[in-house]
Amino acid sequence: MDATVSKRWLLARLYEPEQTIVDCRFTLGKPDAGRKSYEQEHIPGAIYLDLELDLSSPLGEHGGRHPLPDPEVLAARLAKLGIGNDSRVVAYDDENGMNAARLWWLLRYLGHEQVYILEGGFSAWKAEKFPVTDHQPVRVPSTFVPKVQVQMLAGVDEVRRISEQTIDAALHASSTAADSALALPILIDSRANDRYQGMNETLDKTAGHIPGAVNFFWKETQNADGSVKNSEQLTEHFAGLDKHREIIVYCGSGVTACPNVLALEKAGYKNVKLYAGSWSDWISYEQNPVATGEE
C-alpha cells in the first residue's frame, strides 16, 4: 500500500476501531496555533500530537531545532493515546504534509509500518464538506513496544565523513577518485534553493549547506493540490540519482526532509536515511564547514 491515502479512502474507514487518526497541524513561530485549530475543529475521532512537545525532544546544545524524541518516551506517549503496535495510523496536517510526514517517519523508525498520510490535509478534507467536529475523543490506553530501526538514521559523524570524502573526490579529478565518489552516499538538502545556496536564511543563525550536498526542494515532490506525485513523476524528478547508492536526506531541522524521504521511497530508492538534526544540528558544531552557492 502507498504511504498516502485519499480523503474518500479515509471517509469510508472513518470509524474503524483499529484505526487512529492523528492531527499534526503546527505553525512554526506560533506554537499554540495547531492545537487551537484542533480544538476548534478536526476530523472526527482524531487526536492531536504537537510537533515540538510530542514529536521532538527538548532543545539542547546539539540535535537541531527539532531533536528526535527519545523512542521510549514517544512510545509511552503513543500508548497513552491508544496507539498500539497493531494500530493503523492516519496522520494529517495543513502544512503540505510536512508534520504528518514527521510522524510517518517516526513511527516507522519505531518499527511501526501501518502509518499513512492523508492527501491534501485538513483544508482539503473540509473543502470536500466531509465531517468535522470539535469533540475530543476519550482514548483507551494501549501497549506500544518500540523496535527501533537504527538503519533509518544518519548521525553528524557519518554525514561529516561523507561530506569530506565527497569534496575530496571532487577535488581529485582522477578515475580512482571518480570511482570512489560513485560509491559514496548522496547528501540531499531538502530546503528551498535560496536557503541551500545561502542567499536567504530566516530560521538558522548560519546560511548555506553541507559541503557536497545536492538540492531537491521537498515541495517539488507534490502536485498543486498537495498530494504526492506518482512514482513515474518522482522518478523523473530524481533523475540522475543512482538507485543503488545510499541517500542521506536533511533539511533545516529534520521535519521537511521527511516528505523527501517518502517521495524517494515511492520513486523506488531503497536505501534512504534521515539526518534528523539536519542543518541546524550541523552548524551547532563550530568545526563543521559551510558551503554556499550551487554544487
pTM for this model (two decimals): 0.95
Please give the pLDDT value at position 1: 66
pLDDT tens for the chain, residues 1 to 295: 689 999 999 999 999 999 999 999 999 889 999 999 999 999 999 999 999 999 999 999 999 999 999 999 999 999 999 999 999 999 999 999 999 999 999 999 999 999 999 999 999 999 999 999 999 999 999 999 999 999 999 999 999 999 999 998 888 754 454 555 567 999 999 999 999 999 999 999 999 999 999 999 999 999 988 889 999 999 999 998 999 999 999 999 999 999 999 999 999 999 999 999 999 999 999 999 999 998 8
For 208, the grid coordinates are: 548555506
Q: Where are the domains of the chain?
A: 4-148, 151-282
Please give the pLDDT value at position 207: 97
> Do 4-148 and 151-282 come out as alike in CATH topology?
yes
Please give the pLDDT value at position 24: 98
Residues 192, 276: contact at Cβ < 8 Å? no
H or E element at residue 39: helix 33-40
Please give the pLDDT value at position 169: 84
For 160, the grid coordinates are: 561529516
Known catalytic membership, residue 258: no
CATH of 4-148, one of 3.40.1180.10, 3.50.50.60, 3.40.50.880, 3.40.250.10: 3.40.250.10
Q: What residues have CB less than 8 Å from 269, skipping those under 6 apart?
A: 238, 241, 243, 247
Please give the pLDDT value at position 241: 94
- C-alpha 288/C-alpha 275 separation (Å) is 15
CATH of 151-282, one of 1.10.3720.10, 3.40.250.10, 3.40.1280.10, 3.40.30.10: 3.40.250.10
Q: How many CB atoms lie within 10 A of CB 67?
A: 19
Please give the pLDDT value at position 171: 82
Q: 154: closest CA among 234, 201, 210?
A: 210
Considering 251, 261, 262, 263, which one is annotated as catalytic? Answer: 251
